[in-house]
Amino acid sequence: MGKTCDLSFEQAQREGVHVRAGGARSTACLLLSAAMRWRYEMIKVSNLTKKYGRHLAVDDVSFEVRRGEIVGFLGPNGAGKTTTMRILTGYLPATGGTVLIGGTDVFKNSMDVRRRIGYLPENCPLYPELRVDEYLRFRADLKGVPRRMVRKRIADVKELCGLTSVGKRIIGQLSKGYRQRVGLAESLIHEPELLILDEPTIGLDPNQIRSVRSLIRGLAERHTILLSTHILSEVEIICDRVLIINEGKIVASDTPDALAARTRASSRVLAEIQGPEEVITSALQGLPGVQNVFSEKRGEWIHWTIESATNTDLRPDVYALAVKHSWPLRELTQDKPALEDIFVALTSGQDGGIS
């Protein structure tokens, strides 16, 4: 026998689930469970496969993206990343599997799904001879924005993307950064629930990159975002979670911090302590769990790298040791692997440190 469900039909109806009068209580429970999953899952990919002839580009991929998340989608060239994103947007058919966007099947209801997605491809196809306002009006019409709302939507996305001052400018005369903003504004014109951004900062200078990053972060308040980029520091700054695909398979799905913990089985602490080098070395080596101690003289200070065999935080013990001996201490940090190190370990076969 399954679990007893105490859900009333009134509760089901409050959650937007319509159940026939006289239906079984378990039916209400099942329908409510499905409705709640739909509410929190923006993307649900199950056993997705894509073949080009004999080449298997996407191999039985499954993952989920919750509403309101910013998820970084990473992979080396040829890993299946762009193919997966194109399938999600309805641009490519799949060989097998299912993709649900907000509970709607991409393959069965492609047009409905496209209305819910804003897509910024790597090379944004703009019309360089049009003015910004003309282009946004054209795209709003194509995307079915009601005529009474077009002017307001254009004004809203221009303000959001920092384009208010260039509405009358010809797109072909804009800088790369502004053209990227126009592409982003176009992807937002129909108020999509989901934004899929493929290399949104490619070719931009550092100031433009910072501006677009800030814009993307602000968009997460109202949109779910799937972000593909080769700038891994960008993912660390912007994203809540990371998906890594390699050779057509998802090899990691977690937060950057959790991936760092998986990638390094040992712990490493960096410290700068002033005092007698040999005495400090001996004292550090005597701490529980310490495996290796390395020192480097930096003027009056000595920089220490302290490694343990297990993934434990040595900082409290190092601090207590410095206090006990009255050694001046000006740095004490835990060294974490960068996302670049994690990416290389997961996609190049260097998996010795992955648990």
* Radius of gyration in angstroms for the set of CA atoms belonging to the chain, rounded to a whole number: 26
Strands (E), 145-300: 194-198, 224-228, 241-246, 249-254, 267-273, 290-298
Alpha helices, DSSP H only, in 189-255? 206-219, 232-238
Residue 56's Cβ-side half-sphere holds a number of Cα atoms within 13 Å equal to: 10
Over residues 263-283, mean pLDDT: 86
Q: Residue 172's beta-bridge partner residues?
A: none
Q: What is the sign, positive or negative, of the torsion defined by CA atoms of 120, 121, 123, 125?
A: negative
Q: Are 239 and 227 in contact (CB under 8 A)?
A: yes
Asked if residue 6 has pLDDT above 70, the reply is no
Q: In the structure, what pLDDT confidence band is assigned to residue 13 with cuts at 50, 70 and 90?
A: very low
Lowest mean per-residue pLDDT among 6-15, 77-86, 99-108, 170-179 = 6-15
If 0-12 CB within 10 Å is exposed, 13-18 middle and 19+ buried, where does residue 310 land? exposed
Specify the pLDDT at position 1: 41
Alpha-carbon distance of 192 to 113, in angstroms, equals 10
Q: Are 101 and 122 in contact (CB under 8 A)?
A: no
Specify the pLDDT at position 325: 95
Specify the pLDDT at position 32: 45
If 0-12 CB within 10 Å is exposed, 13-18 middle and 19+ buried, where does residue 336 land? middle
Give which of 269, 261, 290 is closest to 355, Cα–Cα.
Answer: 261
Share of the chain above pLDDT 90, in %: 54
**What are the backbone angles phi and psi of residue 206, rounded to the nearest 5°?**
-55, -40
Specify the pLDDT at position 29: 53
Over residues 206-212, mean pLDDT: 82
In the numeric block, which tokens belong to residue 336? Answer: 């974490």
Amino acid at 119: Y
Give which of 107, 39, 46, 88 is closest to 196, Cα–Cα.
Answer: 88
In the numeric block, which tokens belong to residue 102? Answer: 């907000």
Q: Report helix, strand or coil for 161.
A: coil
Specify the pLDDT at position 270: 94
Asked if residue 318 has pLDDT above 80, the reply is yes
**CATH superfamily placement of domain 41-260:** P-loop containing nucleotide triphosphate hydrolases (3.40.50.300)
Give which of 155, 117, 120 is closest to 136, Cα–Cα.
Answer: 155
Specify the pLDDT at position 27: 52
In which residue ranges of the chain is CATH 3.30.70.3190 found? 265-335
* 147-192 pLDDT, tens digit each: 999 999 999 999 988 899 999 999 999 988 889 889 999 999 999 9
In the numeric block, which tokens belong to residue 322? Answer: 């410095």
Percent helix, percent strand, percent coil in the chain, to nearest 5:
40, 25, 35
CATH architecture of 265-335: 2-Layer Sandwich (3.30)
Q: In the structure, what pLDDT confidence band is assigned to residue 345 with cuts at 50, 70 and 90?
A: confident
Q: In the structure, what pLDDT confidence band is assigned to residue 349 with cuts at 50, 70 and 90?
A: low
Specify the pLDDT at position 46: 95
Residue 164 carries which DSSP code? Answer: G
Asked if residue 289 has pLDDT above 50, the reply is yes
Over residues 20-41, mean pLDDT: 52
Asked if residue 266 has pLDDT above 80, the reply is no
Asked if residue 37 has pLDDT above 60, the reply is no
pTM for this entry: 0.73
In which residue ranges of the chain is CATH 3.40.50.300 found? 41-260
Over residues 234-241, mean pLDDT: 87
Q: Residue 305's beta-bridge partner residues?
A: 270, 294
- Residue 234, C-beta contacts closer than 8 angstroms, at least 6 positions apart: 72, 201, 209, 213
